[in-house]
């Protein structure tokens, strides 16, 4: 980003990075992996949407959310409601006491479809809801918090509480939500059976396509003046405010954007894995998603994608052999990253690998080293600790 200015929002380096990722996800992995393994990658990639949102929200804007599972879940549940309704046709459910409603409702003595399920019969509405419902929820939370200048650790704790509350709500309202088991036994999308291997392969490519589109959106935001304002806010919130910006509205915006991105991931999860449950909404998955981002590099859009893939790959291989050790492994990894590599894999790349690849890939070396050495914007207090007096 030099003063000469760019007419296009991608630097050559970013474009090369995106192409490499696209080739890896669209060509190399599908050729190298069997169907079963590829479906795992597809599942991991749905978390990458969340990591992408966290790069913008946490990495750039310094707003740490420990509740992104809420938005992943909202997106996932919206999609699951649509698929469940399609799977619960009168035909399919004629053995129930009330045919035509989801099975878990019938088990819970509910005799008619709740009003808020009704619109999810429409695929158009569902698609819209996947993006808009989480954004509205994020807007309400963000507006209430950021206008009151709640930030930093306090904000993180509140988002964590939200994740807990939503989990409890979903589990408690079994008749409306499917409870702890979630919404399961999803079958078709517009009559197309999503359980077959060929459907799963198609959905994998759809997921990669959407992820690449979201990556482009993230780069667009990052390279706009708004992206620089986020970085400025993270550093000196008061200076931004006293330069004529309504700081809260920028925070609300990036929080909503991160929510919508997470929700797209959630919807793709439901489609590919075939169910959605409260275990993807709560505190643990939300924190895991922050760890993916930290490992990949919270300041790097592409880094967060690789971080998600790597941590999940490690998780799967580890859990196969030592399931009880995984959480310790994950915790250890997080501590190691925070202490030793604050900018994650992307930071290591920028410091050690990129400079050897020539000017196309690296910043001025001085800046790169310095970036890696300063952990930016750890969550700050409730009131901006600007350097002003």
Partner 1 sequence: MNTQVIADQMNKDFVLAVEGLTVSFDGFKAVNDLSFYVDENEIRVIIGPNGAGKTTVLDLICGRTKATTGSIRFKDRELTTMKEHEIVRAGVGRKFQNPSIYEDLTVFENLEISYPKGRSVVGALTFRRDAAVKGRVHEVAETIFLADQLDQRAEYLSHGQKQWLEIGMLLIQDPELLMLDEPVAGMSVSERKKTAELLNTIIKDRSVIVIEHDMKFVEDIAHKVTVLHQGKILSEGSMAKVQADPKVIEVYLGH
| Helix, strand, or coil (residue 276) | strand
Q: Which of residues 350-379 bind partner 1 (CB under 8 A)?
A: 366-367, 370, 376
Whole-Å CA distances, 283 to 66, 162, 164, 235: 7, 9, 6, 28
Helix axis angle for 68-87 and 283-296, nearest 10°, is 120
DSSP 121-155: G-HHHHHHHHHHHHHHHHHHHHHHHHHTT--HHHH
Which residue of 125, 212, 239, 341 would you call a contact of partner 1, by CB under 8 A? 239
95 touches partner 1 by CB under 8 A:
no
In contact, 331 and 284? CB cutoff 8 Å:
no
**Residue 8 touching partner 1 (CB under 8 A):** no
Q: 7 by DSSP, 3-state: which? A: coil
Work out which of 29, 54, 162, 221 binds partner 1, going by CB under 8 A.
221
**Of the two residues 208 and 299, which places its CB atom closer to partner 1 in the complex?**
299
Question: Segment near partner 1 (CB under 8 A), from 223-231, 262-270, 318-326, 352-360?
Answer: 223-231
Nearest to 84 by CA among 263, 260, 281, 276: 276
Q: Does 149 bind partner 1 (CB under 8 A)?
A: no
Examine residue 253 and tell whether it contacts partner 1 (CB under 8 A). Answer: yes
* Part in contact with partner 1 (CB under 8 A); list of ranges 108-116, 193-201, 244-252, 323-331: 244-252
Q: b or e along 90-113 (b: 16 or more beta carbons within 10 Å of the residue's beta carbon)?
A: eebbeebeeebbbbbbbeeebeeb
Contact 276, 181 (CB under 8 A): no
The answer to whether 2 contacts partner 1 (rule: CB under 8 A) is yes
Q: Pick from 138, 186, 194, 232 the residue near partner 1 by CB under 8 A.
A: 232
Residue with tokens 């941590």: 311
Please tell me whether residue 124 binds partner 1 under the rule CB under 8 A: no
Sole binder of partner 1 in the list 28, 148, 246, 365 (CB under 8 A):
246
Q: Which residues bind partner 1 (CB under 8 A)?
A: 1-3, 5, 221, 224-226, 228-229, 231-232, 234-236, 238-247, 249-250, 253, 366-367, 370, 376, 386-389
């Amino acid at each position: 980003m030099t003063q000469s200015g760019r007419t296009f929002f991608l630097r050559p380096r970013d474009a090369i990075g995106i192409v490499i990722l696209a080739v890896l996800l669209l060509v190399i992995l599908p050729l190298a992996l069997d169907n079963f393994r590829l479906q795992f990658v597809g599942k991991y990639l749905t978390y990458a949407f969340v990591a992408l949102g966290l790069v913008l929200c946490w990495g750039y804007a310094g707003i740490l959310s420990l509740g992104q599972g809420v938005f992943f879940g909202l997106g996932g549940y919206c999609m699951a409601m649509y698929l469940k309704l399609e799977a619960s046709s009168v035909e399919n459910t004629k053995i129930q006491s009330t045919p035509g409603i989801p099975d878990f409702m019938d088990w819970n003595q509910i005799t008619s479809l709740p009003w808020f399920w009704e619109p999810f019969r429409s695929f158009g509405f569902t698609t819209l809801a996947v993006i808009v419902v989480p954004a509205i929820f994020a807007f309400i939370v963000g507006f209430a918090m950021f206008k009151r200048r709640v930030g930093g650790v306090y904000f993180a704790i509140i988002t964590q509480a939200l994740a807990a509350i939503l989990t409890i709500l979903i589990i408690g309202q079994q008749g409306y939500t499917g409870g702890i088991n979630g919404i399961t036994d999803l079958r078709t999308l517009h009559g197309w059976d999503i359980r077959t291997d060929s459907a799963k392969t198609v959905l994998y490519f759809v997921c990669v396509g959407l992820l690449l589109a979201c990556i482009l959106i993230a780069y667009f935001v990052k390279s706009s003046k708004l992206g620089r304002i986020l970085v400025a806010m993270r550093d000196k919130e008061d200076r931004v405010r006293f330069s004529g910006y309504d700081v809260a509205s920028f925070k609300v915006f990036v929080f909503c954007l991160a929510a919508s991105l997470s929700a797209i991931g959630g919807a793709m999860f439901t489609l590919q894995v075939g169910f959605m449950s409260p275990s993807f909404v709560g505190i643990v998955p939300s924190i895991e998603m922050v760890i993916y981002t930290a490992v990949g590099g919270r300041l790097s859009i592409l880094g967060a994608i690789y971080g998600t893939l790597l941590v999940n790959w490690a998780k799967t291989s580890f859990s196969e052999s030592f399931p009880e050790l995984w959480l310790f492994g994950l915790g250890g990894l997080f501590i190691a990253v925070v202490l030793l590599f604050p900018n994650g894999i992307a930071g290591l790349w920028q410091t050690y690998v990129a400079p050897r690849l020539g000017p196309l890939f690296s910043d001025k070396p001085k800046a790169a080293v310095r970036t890696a050495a300063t952990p930016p914007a750890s969550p700050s207090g409730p009131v901006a600790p600007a350097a002003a007096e």
